[in-house]
Amino acid sequence: MNRVVHPIEEESYRRLRARLDTSHFPPLTRAVVERVVHSAADLEYAADLVTDESDLVKAHAALHAGAPVVVDVEMVGAGITRRETVCRLRDAEAGPGLTRSAHAIRLAYEQVGPGALWVIGNAPTALEELLTLDAAPVLVIGLPVGFVGAVESKAALRESGLPAVSNVSEKGGSAVAAAALNALLYHPTSEETL
């Protein structure tokens, strides 16, 4: 992907790196950490994020090979640039014991099947529902925000053994979830570096 970086973004990353040493992170982890920190202007994400480089390598390859990207809300999808996403929230309905966000995840899984990248930045119930499905995700970016259910849903994601990007605190949201996916999208593939 040829991407022109605006001078403001270049300066922002220069300042970020002057305040935060990310050189010890492996390449894709560094890309995710820096893009999330940049999107929130919050240096604490460097210690709060939980990633695994081997999971990111597999997700990066799948993303660039065209694996579907599913988002929990349109705001996450709006933040993911240069890539179509699947969001079924408009089609979803709440029911007894089922939030609209959880129903949207069911609908999205019915549409895309296994092997997708899932980006959840808003609803803890969306992440909880994904964990009940046999979705066989390539990666789950689970960064829902909030004081109710966010920490618990992210802990459940980490305990599930699924390949994931998450964080420990209540922090999260659409912007940081989209940023984590964009970091993988923007990172060059081996063909681009030849």
DSSP strand pairing (164-167 vs 117-120): unpaired
106 is written with which tokens? 């069911």
SS3 label, residue 42:
coil
Among residues 38, 60, 103, 187, the one annotated as catalytic is 38
Please indicate whether residue 187 is annotated as part of the active site: no
Nearest to 183, CA basis, from 113, 119, 88 = 119
Q: Do 36 and 179 contact (CB within 8 A), yes or no?
A: yes
Burial 1-27 (b: 16+ CB within 10 A, else e): eeeeeeeeeeeebeebeeebeeeebee
The CA distance from 80 to 66, in Å, is 14
CB atoms within 10 A of CB 193: 7
CA dihedral 116, 28, 193, 185 (to 10 degrees): 40
Residues annotated as part of the active site: 38
